[in-house]
């Protein structure tokens, strides 16, 4: 009597994403695109000629998935166009998202929160900074998309005050600390992942035009609600990550959207993760 042997192929598990200690951070790309220099504020013709001679620069729209301690943590949701396919490719369904961290409430960040007016992430705890919430839902601004989001997620929405950069802080959720970088929007918030002494700062919309805003961080963009404050925040954050050698990921950094910032002269250079 011969035993029937079933051959199983043990395919090598391919680890994707960026390792941060025991956490994994996956890029969820909504697409690569080109930005136009017409959105820049404070860029001289010489800067544009040097960094974007054809009037465009590489850009992207990204969200990220942090997998840590058995939890699926989304940071932003992009437009919600490719988001769900991207998650599916990672073996994650929307019902299995435990936490959504929102950097700010522009449409290219909260676009995936609702599907046909319903919650796309029925089991997620959702985090939005108090300032961001108050600005967009105020009578002066009355943003319909944000009001819909707040209403749909009202029983699972957490409003909070992020930490001040460089100061000791308690994590907002396991392994992730929220840090204020106000200016692009009034409550714009970054999320720093930390595990086993390793860190990654997901800096949201700290930059929109890496080609210009790394060498010239004082260049702002027309999307900034408060351009001067956005510049101040960018200078503080670039100093923080370069001084402390903390890798960063950004929502408008071209593929693979992760790298490190190094001081160079009066500005900075960005070294993409290979
Ligand atoms: Zn954006």
pLDDT band at 274 (very low <50, low <70, confident <90, very high): confident
CA separation for the pair 13, 167 (Å, rounded): 39
Q: Per-residue pLDDT averaged across 105-113, rounded?
A: 98
Q: Per-residue pLDDT averaged across 112-123, rounded?
A: 96
Percent of the chain whose pLDDT exceeds 70: 95
User: What pLDDT, on the 0 to 100 scale, is given for residue 15?
Assistant: 60
Q: Where would I find the beta strands (DSSP E) of the chain?
A: 18-20, 23-36, 40-41, 56-68, 71-75, 99-101, 114-115, 118-119, 125-129, 157-160, 176-180, 189-195, 198-202, 220-221, 248-249, 258-264, 267-272
How far is the centre of ligand 1, averaged over its atoms, from the C-alpha of 221 (Å)? 11
How far is the centre of ligand 1, averaged over its atoms, from the C-alpha of 107 (Å)? 8
User: What pLDDT, on the 0 to 100 scale, is given for residue 16?
Assistant: 77
Q: 66, exposed or middle or buried, with CB in 10 Å at 0-12, 13-18, 19+?
A: buried
User: What pLDDT, on the 0 to 100 scale, is given for residue 237?
Assistant: 98
- Range scoring the smallest mean pLDDT among 6-20, 146-160, 174-188: 6-20
Sign of the torsion formed by the C-alpha atoms of 142, 165, 29 and 252: positive
How far is the centre of ligand 1, averaged over its atoms, from the C-alpha of 15 (Å)? 28
CA separation for the pair 227, 97 (Å, rounded): 34
CA separation for the pair 211, 271 (Å, rounded): 12
**What pTM was computed for the model?**
0.94
pLDDT band at 270 (very low <50, low <70, confident <90, very high): very high
């Amino acid at each position: 009597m011969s035993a029937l042997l079933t051959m199983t192929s043990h395919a090598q598990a391919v680890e994707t994403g960026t390792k941060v200690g025991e956490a994994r951070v996956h890029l969820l790309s909504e697409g690569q695109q080109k930005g136009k220099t017409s959105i820049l504020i404070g860029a001289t013709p010489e800067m544009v000629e040097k960094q974007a001679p054809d009037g465009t620069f590489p850009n992207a729209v990204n969200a990220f998935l942090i997998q840590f301690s058995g939890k699926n943590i989304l940071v932003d949701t992009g437009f919600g166009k490719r988001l769900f396919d991207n998650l599916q490719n990672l073996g994650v369904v929307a019902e299995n998202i435990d936490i959504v961290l929102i950097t700010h409430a522009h449409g290219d960040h909260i676009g995936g929160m609702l599907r046909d007016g319903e919650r796309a992430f029925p089991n997620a705890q959702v985090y939005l900074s108090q300032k961001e919430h108050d600005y967009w839902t105020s009578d002066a601004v009355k943003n319909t998309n944000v009001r819909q989001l707040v209403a749909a997620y009202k029983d699972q929405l957490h409003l909070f005050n992020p930490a001040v950069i460089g100061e000791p802080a308690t994590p907002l959720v396991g392994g992730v600390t929220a840090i204020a970088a106000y200016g692009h929007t009034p409550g714009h918030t970054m999320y720093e992942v930390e595990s086993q002494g390793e860190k990654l700062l997901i800096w949201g919309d700290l930059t929109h035009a890496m080609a210009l805003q790394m060498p010239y961080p004082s260049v702002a963009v027309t999307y900034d609600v408060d351009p001067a404050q956005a510049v101040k925040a960018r200078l503080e954050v670039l100093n923080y990550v370069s001084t402390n050698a903390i890798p960063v990921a950004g929502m408008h950094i071209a593929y693979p959207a992760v790298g490190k910032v190094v001081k160079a002269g009066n500005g900075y250079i960005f070294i993409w993760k290979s």
